[in-house]
């Protein structure tokens, strides 16, 4: 199957700093990328959907000024957590899919990035 990578796999930062997480589709062009967040022992929650070349669509309750998403190319999307606080500590997962044909195309998940804010 298609491969999606994330970088870094884990990051520890001080409160107030910004952290950028990259999501790359390695062997296909991803017209759409999704960012999810997972708290311990909870399920994944969609944060935002980004389509290449356009602004991301954020889910209700997700602050777009805090979680900046850029999807400038068909293989790369970035999530920047600005002015991070300890409550932002979480596991962030991206997924990517291409949109082709007349049926739903599978989402391929990245391995995730564990963010710890001190």
Point out which residues bind another protein (CB under 8 A).
1, 34, 38, 42-46, 91, 93, 99, 102-104, 106-112, 114
- Per residue, the 3-state secondary structure of the chain, as one string, reads CCCEEEECCEEEECCCCCEEEEEEECCCCCCEEEEEEECCCCCCEEEEEEECCCCCEECCCCCCCCEEEEEEECCEEEEEECCCCHHHCEEEEEEEECCCCCCCCCCEECCCEEEEEC
**Rounded least distance, CB 58 to another protein, Å:** 14
**Rounded least distance, CB 16 to another protein, Å:** 25
| Closer of 65 and 101 to another protein (Cβ) | 101
| Closer of 42 and 83 to another protein (Cβ) | 42
**Rounded least distance, CB 19 to another protein, Å:** 17
| Closer of 65 and 102 to another protein (Cβ) | 102
């Amino acid at each position: 199957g298609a491969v999606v990578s994330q970088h870094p796999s884990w990051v520890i930062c001080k409160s107030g700093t910004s952290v950028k997480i990259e999501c790359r589709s390695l062997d296909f062009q991803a017209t759409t990328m999704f960012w999810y967040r997972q708290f311990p022992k909870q399920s994944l929650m969609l944060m935002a959907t980004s389509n290449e070349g356009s602004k991301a669509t954020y889910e209700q309750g997700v602050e777009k000024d805090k979680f900046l998403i850029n999807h400038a190319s068909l293989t790369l999307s970035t999530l920047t957590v600005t002015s991070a606080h300890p409550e932002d500590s979480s596991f962030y997962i991206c997924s990517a899919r291409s949109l082709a044909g007349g049926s739903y195309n599978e989402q391929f998940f990245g391995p995730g990035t564990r963010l710890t804010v001190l």
